[in-house]
């Protein structure tokens, strides 16, 4: 009986901790990864792609980044609801 109550309390504490920690971990990972990726793309594009092609391509890449950010946000939301 005491062991069951202890186990239930531990599961609750673990769940609450994960709910608080996961959003921060995911957000930090995104913030660290995206700028590095964007910088590499920009450097490559400036050296190899003509200006006429670069602007429409930048627009598409910005849209892609927005979609990826929204995807991570929705995954984070789903993860929190599953916990």
Phi and psi, residue 49, nearest 5°: -110, 130
Q: Which residue has the higher pLDDT, 73 or 41?
A: 73
Query: DSSP of 36-53, one letter per residue?
Result: HHHHHHHHHHHHHS-HHH
**Mean pLDDT over residues 7-27, rounded?**
78
Angle in degrees, 0-180, between the axes of helices 2-48 and 51-82, rounded to the nearest 10: 180
25-67 pLDDT, tens digit per residue, is 777 777 776 666 777 777 776 667 677 777 787 888 888 888 8
**Dist. CA 4–CA 55, nearest whole Å:** 62
Band (pLDDT 50/70/90 cuts) for residue 80 is confident
The answer to whether the predicted template modeling score (pTM) of the entire model surpasses 0.75 is no
> What is the residue extent of each domain of the chain?
2-82
**Dist. CA 49–CA 46, nearest whole Å:** 6
**Dist. CA 80–CA 77, nearest whole Å:** 5
């Amino acid at each position: 009986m005491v062991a069951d109550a202890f186990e239930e309390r531990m599961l609750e504490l673990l769940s609450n901790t994960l709910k608080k920690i996961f959003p921060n971990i995911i957000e930090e990972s995104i913030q660290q990864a995206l700028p590095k990726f964007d910088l590499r793309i920009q450097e490559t594009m400036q050296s190899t792609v003509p200006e006429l092609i670069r602007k429409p391509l930048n627009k598409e890449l910005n849209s892609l980044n927005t979609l990826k950010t929204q995807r991570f946000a929705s995954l984070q939301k789903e993860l929190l609801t599953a916990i």
